[in-house]
């Protein structure tokens, strides 16, 4: 055990929340120790946004889980104040359709800014130091880890969620919080690709479409998205699909509107199909949607509409068949079998109950001196910088500990 006086703050986890907290606390003169289980800090930051690091969003807040807690946090720490945090530490920012990136559009610039601040404020960073146990002894905490035993007046659990274990997600932090009496809501993958029925996506792998998608369970809409969808070998991915992942339950069905940019209802589509039937009368049925959809997607739509696709010509199609094609183009159904799980999820839904923490400091209401921030809390957001923004905000507030 360290013979020095207790650390002011031990941060468990060198991700977005942990690094921001360490910098924020050190700015107030705190002695800070970071314990990171991986061989280096910030792995998930480097991987975020395909390496571009979408670290904020300036638009409407889009959070799930305890969305009210997230709203309170951004009333306490505004986005302008978060921008100022980055400005103080030398990071320029650039806006792109409400998404905020580092000025270089490179995640390494974000991590370098944080690591430089750690160095300038003499924060002790110990990598490859997994934490095994946390004890509360009188007015301090004792933390047992791979590189020894250290005491601290405050401990921040910022060890991340269960998503992306290759980047450090383990879920260990949930057990530590549970031992201090905290409620842990059930975990599930969020922002995750979907596994679907093979027949409905056959022949479409690698194709990207811009569409409107509804996730239906027992015929009831659970969530709605529009944007780009990517067909894969065994399902669908892309932002549009991944944002539906947290709402998956057994019996779910994707309903895709391929033509929403031009037509709202099947009745609108059929008028165009009748016009095209005259133009392309001698062509095969997939030419009905030529120019709107790629041939392979048009073929899949016609198959789902019940066309045999064995040499028919467009002129042979009855009005009922044209209506069936219009219906399939607007309501293409794909049964969802599951998600790709935590290995391919970008974030974790569920986690520690945020109501058991103060939104202005992220300190536990149950155990004085214990803090939690980032993905370990039951708050998750849409793609677009919301998850990193919540993690950085929580880290900044936890590190400040009410001294702003």
pLDDT tens readout for residues 296-337: 999 999 999 999 999 899 999 999 999 999 999 999 999 999
First to last CA, the chain: 32
Contact 193, 346 (CB under 8 A): no
Quote the pTM value. Answer: 0.93
- Burial zone of 368 (CB within 10 Å; 0-12 exposed, 13-18 middle, 19+ buried): exposed
DSSP state of 290: B
**Across 242-373, where does the E strand assignment appear?**
252-257, 332-339, 347-352, 370-372
Angle at 321 between CA 316 and CA 323, to 5 degrees: 135
What's the pLDDT at 2?
46
User: In this model, does residue 295 exceed pLDDT 70?
Assistant: yes
What's the pLDDT at 3?
54
CA-to-CA distance for 31 and 123, rounded, in angstroms?
7
DSSP H/E element including 101: strand 99-102
Q: How confident is the model at residue 170 (pLDDT cuts 50, 70, 90)?
A: confident
The boundaries of every CATH 3.50.50.60 domain in the chain are 7-188+346-400
Residues in the chain, total? 404
Q: Which residue has the tokens 């997600």?
A: 169
CATH class of the 7-188+346-400 domain in this structure: alpha beta
Of the candidates 257, 230, 252, 253, the one whose C-alpha atom is nearest the C-alpha of residue 241 is 230
User: In this model, does residue 65 exceed pLDDT 80?
Assistant: yes
């Amino acid at each position: 055990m360290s013979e020095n006086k207790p650390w002011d703050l031990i941060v468990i986890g060198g991700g977005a929340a942990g690094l921001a907290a360490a910098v924020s606390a050190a700015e107030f003169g705190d002695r800070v120790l970071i314990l990171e289980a991986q061989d280096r800090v910030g792995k998930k930051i480097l991987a975020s946004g395909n390496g571009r690091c979408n670290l904020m969003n300036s638009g409407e807040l889009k959070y799930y889980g305890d969305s009210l807690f997230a709203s309170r946090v951004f009333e306490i720490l505004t986005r302008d104040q978060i921008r100022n945090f980055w400005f103080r530490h030398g990071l320029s920012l650039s806006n792109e359709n409400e998404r905020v990136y580092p000025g270089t559009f490179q995640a390494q610039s974000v991590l370098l800014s944080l690591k430089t601040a750690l160095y300038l404020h003499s924060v002790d960073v110990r990598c490859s130091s997994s934490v095994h146990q946390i004890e509360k002894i009188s007015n301090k905490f004792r933390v047992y880890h791979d590189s020894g035993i250290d005491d601290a007046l405050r401990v921040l659990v910022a060890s991340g969620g269960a998503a992306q274990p290759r980047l450090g997600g383990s879920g260990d932090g949930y057990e530590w919080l549970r031992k201090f009496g905290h409620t842990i809501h059930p975990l599930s993958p969020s922002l995750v690709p979907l596994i679907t029925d093979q027949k409905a996506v056959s022949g479409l792998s690698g194709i990207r479409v811009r569409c409107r998608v509804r996730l239906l369970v027992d015929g009831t809409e659970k969530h709605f998205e529009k944007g780009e969808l990517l067909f894969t070998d065994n399902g669908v991915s892309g932002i549009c699909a991944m944002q539906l992942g947290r709402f998956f339950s057994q019996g779910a069905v994707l309903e895709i509107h391929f033509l929403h940019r031009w037509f709202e209802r099947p009745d609108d589509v059929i008028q165009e199909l009748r016009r095209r039937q005259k133009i392309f009368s001698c062509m095969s049925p997939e030419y009905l949607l030529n120019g709107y959809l790629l041939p392979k997607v048009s073929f899949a739509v016609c198959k789902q509409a019940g066309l045999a696709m064995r040499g028919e010509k467009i002129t042979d199609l009855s009005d009922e068949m044209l209506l069936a094609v219009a219906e399939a183009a607007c309501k293409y159904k794909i049964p969802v079998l599951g998600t790709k799980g935590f290995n391919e999820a970008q974030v974790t839904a569920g986690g520690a109950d945020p109501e058991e923490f103060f939104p202005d400091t992220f300190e536990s209401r149950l155990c004085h001196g214990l803090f939690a921030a980032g993905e370990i809390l039951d708050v998750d957001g849409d793609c677009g910088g919301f998850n990193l923004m919540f993690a950085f905000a929580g880290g900044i507030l936890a590190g400040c500990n009410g001294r702003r």
